[in-house]
Amino acid sequence: MATYLEHILALDPERDHLEILRLSTCYEFPFDTKRSLEFALFRTYAVPTISGLLDKTGEFRLRPQKRYDDTAIIIGILYADGYDSERGRAALRNMNRQHGQYPINNDDLLYVLTTFVFETPRWIDRFGWRATTRHEKLALFYFWRELGRRMNIKNLPEDYETLERFNIEYERAHFQFTETNRRVGDYTVNLMLGWFLPKALWPLGAPFVYAMLDENLRRAFGFPTPPGWLKPTLEFLLKLRSRAVRLLGPRTRPYIVADEPSRTYPRGYTIEQLGPPR
């Protein structure tokens, strides 16, 4: 599969991070980017202070699909257009407005940011049609570091490795079971199952979602351990998909999540519609 890799490697990861990110997420790995962000968000709900706030707002109980679509659209805009475009600035203002409604701990916000930096390359390196490059990893870091500054997140590390250590240590210190973890986790599992299965089959489908989570994450949610054969089977199928993608030609048009119809906004949206009711 001919790719945009040569162009990516010719760019500077810090100066050109917006272009690298657009090529990587919208052309090279659109499927993997979307899936990885779903599971990146899932990880954050294993932190009790995060799940407790989300449970208190009621958004996961009342409007889980809207919350998912709103988040995907905002990130999709920022990945495709950058944070200095007209649409990107509007999306960032919307995101900051949403966060400003709640008393969110700075370290929790920083941790959420780290999941977007690291979960995408971790997923792609396991299931993508090629591994991510150092350029792509650094581009994600520089993008989210700048976005973090514009979100007024404090104590942002200045290098990739320090931020990755924070990500690992934060999970080790904060992943622990609470009832709010389980409730928000169940809402999220049901949301994912609803994309593919009728409600009557959700109990059969749930172990497939559990199998995609690591043991520490499952334990923090209180999810049961899935059958031993399920995880390797899913990994085999995802790797089989990656081999098939490798045989295809390069994508000629970008896949931009923010421009695709969603379940919440099948006929389109305005940025003002994104987020919980004011």
Tokens of 98: 């949403």
What tokens were used for 31? 């499927």
Q: What share of the chain is helix, strand, coil (3-state, %, to 5)?
A: 70, 0, 30
Q: Which of 195, 194, 187, 224 is nearest to 63 (CA)?
A: 187
**What does pTM read for this prediction?**
0.95
- Give pLDDT, residue 102: 86
Residue with tokens 């090629």: 130
221-269: per-residue pLDDT in tens? 999 999 999 999 999 999 999 999 999 888 999 999 999 999 999 999 9
pLDDT in tens, 56-100: 999 889 999 999 999 999 999 999 999 999 999 999 999 999 998
Which residues, other chains included, contact 269 with Cβ-Cβ below 8 Å and sequence gap of 6+? Answer: 73, 262
How many CB atoms sit inside 10 A of residue 140's CB? 25
Could you tell me the two tokens for 200? 């009557």
Q: What mean pLDDT comes out for the span 26-54?
A: 97
- If one counts every other C-beta atom within 10 angstroms of the C-beta of residue 48, the result is 18
Half-sphere exposure of 139 (CA within 13 A, CB side): 25
The model's pLDDT over 172-192, given as tens digits with 9 standing for 90+, comes to 999 999 999 999 999 999 999
Cα dihedral across residues 70, 262, 37, 4: positive or negative: negative
The average confidence (pLDDT) of the chain is 96
Distance CA 194, CA 186 (A): 12
